[in-house]
Amino acid sequence: MIFRLAKSNRNCNLNYFNMKSDISALRNEYSKSTLSDSELSSDPFVQFDQWFKEAINSDQIEPNAMIVGTVDQYDQPTQRTVLLKDYGKEGFVFYTNYKSRKGTQLENNPKINLLFPWYHLQRQVIISGTVTKVSKEDSESYFHSRPRGSQLSAFVSNQSEEIPSRKEIESRLQKAEEDFKDKEIPLPDNWGGYLVTPSSFEFWQGRENRLHDRFFFERENEHWKISRLAP
């Protein structure tokens, strides 16, 4: 029995290393576009707007999906995917439960990182900055623009809390559907939006042979310092 177990483990290890070898062979060349100094806008918000519209008009799935990075009380970075819901010269807006894991972390440390992974366009944008809560009026307006099912889900889910089973959350949903039948669903006390005010942007365009184009914008007072970074 001991011999068989050891042999089985050895085979598992061999399969693992074979799998690693297969992954290492995965490779795509990036040749869809370029980003030159002359093409780059001097305003990172304008550049983002241009790329975002191109992402919307492409085959990119969920072009407004962004990976949101925060830091916990142990200085451990954590990430999750969230949907961008508004943007402009003031910054970038998303909505969540303020008592969720990310909400609690942002309450303790308002620094944040956003990553837009537009794989289909062989592009990514990284934005770093700080957050502030949007007004209750703005949160309420957006909340009531959501599908009713999404409103109910936000009302019954204390996001990130431990629950005994899916049945528990489904029971809460059923009760809420009954309680609010033919009624407006109120904005939950702990639900709302964050405005991300950027301190830096990085625009990354994939290029052949991994010689990618990378431009870094860093805020200096009321201006943006632009640097080209090595790929």
Per mean pLDDT, which range of 17-21, 86-90, 147-151 is the poorest?
A: 17-21
Domain chopping of the chain, boundaries: 32-144+191-231, 145-186
Q: Exposure string (b/e) for 1-16, b if CB count within 10 Å is 16 or more?
A: eeeeeeeeeeeeeeee
pLDDT at 102 over 70: yes
Using CA of residue 100, residue 101, residue 103, residue 104, what is the dihedral sign?
positive
Q: Please report the pLDDT score of residue 206 as a whole number.
A: 94
pLDDT at 14 over 90: no
pTM greater than the 0.85 cutoff? yes
**CA nearest neighbour of 31 among 209, 202, 229, 216:** 209
Q: pLDDT tens across 41-89, in order?
A: 999 999 999 999 999 999 889 999 999 999 999 999 999 999 999 999 9
Q: 32-144+191-231 architecture in CATH? A: Roll (2.30)
Q: Please report the pLDDT score of residue 46 as a whole number.
A: 98
- What band does 19 get if pLDDT is binned at 50, 70 and 90? low
Strands 223-228 and 123-133: unpaired
Q: Which residues are catalytic?
A: 210
